[in-house]
Amino acid sequence: MNLDMATLLPTIAKASYLIAAVLFILGIKRMSSPVTARKGIVQAGIGMVLATLATFAITGGDNLGLIIGAIALGVIPTWLWGKKVAMTDMPQMVALFNGMGGGSAAAIGAGEMIKFVHTGAVPSKTTLVLAVVGALIGSISMSGSVIAWAKLDGRMDKRFTFPGQQYFNLLVFIVTLALGAMLVMKLEVPIIVAFFALALLVGVLMTLPIGGADMPVVISLYNAFTGLAVAFEGYVMQIEALIIAGMVVGAAGMLLTQLMAKAMNRPISGVLFSNFGGGGQSAADIKGSMKPIEASDAASLLYMADKVVIVPGYGMAVAQAQHKIWELCKQLRERGKEIKFAIHPVAGRMPGHMNVLLAEAGVPYDLIVDMDEINPEFATTDVAIVIGANDVVNPVAKTDKSSPIYGMPILDVANARQVIVIKRGKGAGFAGIENALFYQDNCKMLYADGQAAAASLSTELKQIDGGGGH
Amino acid sequence: MDGFLALYIFLLAAFTGHEIISRVPVILHTPLMSGSNFVHGIVLVGAMVALAHADTPLAKAIGFLGVALGAGNAAGGYVVTERMLDMFKSSKGK
């Protein structure tokens, strides 16, 4: 074997890429259990650093200043921003970082196409097709993610629709595909420019009509898109680590998107091509009335209960009430009550988002129970506290076929002996649907801001037994 | 790289991705999405190679953009994932 530097370095780099790919896969696998998750991300991080260092070795100092400058420009602001962003804002943050990855893949595609034009090199058709497809998917992922970020961050109106929108979008998409096909036949700079402009436009158009409730599915889909784009451009660049990591993320992301869409009872096609909410039915067939309750009475219900289940929704996170709720729960636990947190798959803004928010407040993950596991338990629950959740506990999802949320899996809170709903006012939920649970006989409404309600429940509880934990 | 060989890599990687995520509890979906978002930050490596080979001002500009965006994906993705996972603790632990 020839051991001069010119052949040794590429071999070391290839070996490093292989190790990085293995670390990524093991890392993602470890992230699938709460016990090992922390180690998983660190492991994947080591893989990333290793692959980056190896790349410095093989690029041999060409444009070194530019590369280091670009890395600094990319790393420093995102690192600082990521360190201080609030946990509630995590979904849009992930969307934004994902968009950057898509943009990077698209830039690789653009750069390679321009290079082929300038050098007159004739790449294989496979290379060209994958460069074009990767660039298309990456561009859609980038502009779409930016729109998703703007929407979730409240920087843009929730939805933007106009008549014939779907046909217009379809037309733009077809033209983009046609331009892509032309590029595969013959590369020309004006067509490259038009192709990228339209590809970015497709991402914007696709995302504009989608409402906030469906956004998690879309972010997950774009995450998978970026993975695919990275894999395809990895083939163009002949770097196996990109193909493996991109494809693993692409496949995992597609599965995750399906799981989320299923949890929300929304087919992916429904998310992308139709509009959510809108013409809900009237509440004419809901009988009964909403019964208010005072904090002191609610506290005595809790005092007498043996088993209490908390049902948190995004409203709790908005009110920043999770810390106060956990304090209340700790008091209840000191008094020997069994406490559980029931989590709907789409509580929060992404599946698992609520778990992150509760974890931030210090709630141990073994008290947090998934929907399928907790639903049979509601029948033996003395008090269920619903805070900031609405549509995910609405029994009409099971009973009213005309309801837009009909068929969505819900938490069977209605089966608990007593239900206390902490709510600011009498308004309907995110999807604008009246909640039949609130009108049930066993349901009492505690009208207050989430944080204030949790705090007054704690105080009232202490007054009942003088603060003793016996 | 031979087209068919690449196809094998594509397929096996896709199966791997499907397999490792299919056993993930819902509570970890958000960190996992964030973690997989970090992993495709490996695109940085491809962008670095592209920028290193760039010799015209246009190619350098595109390459620069690609590296900056890829680095942002990797760095931001790592920080937020690590922050989220750092908070998952068991009541039985410690």
Q: How much is the pLDDT for A189?
A: 92
Q: Which of A22, A356, A373 to mutate to test the interface with B (most CBs of B within 10 A)?
A: A356
pLDDT at A166: 84
Confidence at residue A352, expressed as pLDDT on a 0 to 100 scale: 78
Q: Which residue has the tokens 């208010």?
A: A292
CB contact under 8 A, A227 and B84: no
Consecutive H or E run containing A341 = strand A338-343
DSSP string of A399-425?
A: H-TTSTTTT-----GGGSSEEEEEESS
| Residue A432: pLDDT band with limits 50, 70, 90 | low
Instruction: Give the separation between CA A54 and CA B49, rounded to whole angstroms.
Output: 11
Q: What is the pLDDT of residues A92-135, one digit of tens each?
A: 899 999 999 999 999 999 999 999 998 888 889 999 999 999 99
A48–B78 CB contact, under 8 Å = yes
Taking a C-beta distance cutoff of 8 angstroms, is the pair A48, B74 a contact? yes
List b or e across B10-49, with b for residues whose CB sees 16 or more CB atoms inside 10 angstroms: beebbebbeebbeebebbbbbbbbbbbbbbbbbbbbbbbb
Question: Which secondary structure element, helix H or strand E, spans residue A311, and what is its range?
Answer: strand A307-312
**Angle formed at CA A331 by CA A466 and CA A309, multiple of 5 degrees:** 130
Q: Which residues of A touch B30 (CB under 8 A)?
A: 90-91, 94, 348, 350-353, 355-356
The pLDDT of A155-184, averaged and rounded, is 87
**Mean pLDDT of all residues in B56-70:** 96
A104 and B43 within 8 Å at the Cβ level: the answer is yes
Least confident of A56-65, A173-182, B8-17: A56-65
pLDDT, position A195: 97
Cβ neighbors of B48 (< 8 A, separation 6 or more) are A52, A55, A56, A59, A67, A71, B67, B70
Distance of CA A293 to the CA centre of its chain: 35
Nearest-CA neighbor of A218 among A178, A175, A256, A164? A256
- Model confidence at A357, pLDDT cuts 50, 70, 90, reads confident
Q: Note the pLDDT of residue A274.
A: 59
Per cent of chain B over pLDDT 90 is: 62
pTM, whole model, 2 decimals? 0.82
pLDDT over threshold 50, residue A41: yes
Q: Write down the pLDDT at residue B1.
A: 67
Q: Which of A162-166, A171-175, A258-262, B22-26 has the highest mean pLDDT?
A: A171-175
Q: Give the residue on A whose Cα is nearest the Cα of B36.
A: A249
Q: Which one of A17, A33, A104, A114 would you mutate to disrupt binding with B, by most B Cβ within 10 Å of its Cβ?
A: A104
pLDDT at position B83 over 60 = yes
Alpha-carbon distance B75 to B94, whole Å? 30
Mean pLDDT of A137-163: 86
Secondary element (H or E) of residue A446: strand A443-447
Q: How confident is the model at residue A243 (pLDDT cuts 50, 70, 90)?
A: very high
Q: Which phi and psi (to 5°) does residue A447 adopt?
A: -80, 110
Mean pLDDT of A30-55: 92
Which has more confidence, A350 or B56? B56
- Give the pLDDT score at A435: 86
Give residue-wise pLDDT tens across range A367-408.
999 888 999 999 999 999 999 888 888 888 888 877 777 778
Angle at A79 between CA A73 and CA A82, to 5 degrees: 135
Average pLDDT over residues A321-333: 92
- Among B6, B17, B38, the residue with its CB nearest the CB of A44 is B38
- In 3-state terms, what secondary structure has residue A289? coil
**What is the predicted pLDDT for the residue at A429?**
59
Residue with the two structure tokens 């509630």? A88
Q: Which residues 128-147 on chain A approach chain B with CB closer than 8 angstroms?
A: none
pLDDT band at A466 (very low <50, low <70, confident <90, very high): confident
Q: What's the pLDDT score for residue B94?
A: 41
- Cα distance between residue A182 and residue A180, in whole Å: 5
Catalytic residues of A: 391
**Would you say residue A26 has pLDDT above 60?**
yes
**Average of per-residue pLDDT across A22-29:** 93
Q: What is the mean pLDDT of chain A?
A: 87
Maximum average pLDDT range among A163-172, A316-325, A354-363, B39-48: B39-48
Residue A346 has pLDDT above 50, yes or no: yes
Average pLDDT over residues A58-86: 92
CB contact under 8 A, B90 and A364: yes
pLDDT band at A159, cuts 50/70/90? low
- Percent residues over pLDDT 70 in chain A: 92
Tell whether A17 is within 8 A of chain B (Cβ): yes
Whether the complex's predicted ipTM is more than 0.85 is answered with yes
Among A40, A111, A242, select the one facing B54 at the smallest CB separation: A111
Q: What is the pLDDT of residues A263-321, one digit of tens each?
A: 766 777 777 775 544 444 444 466 678 888 988 889 999 999 999 999 998 888 888 88
**Interatomic CA distance for residues B10 and A249, integer angstroms:** 11
Instruction: Show residues of chain A in contact with B94, CB under 8 Å.
Output: none
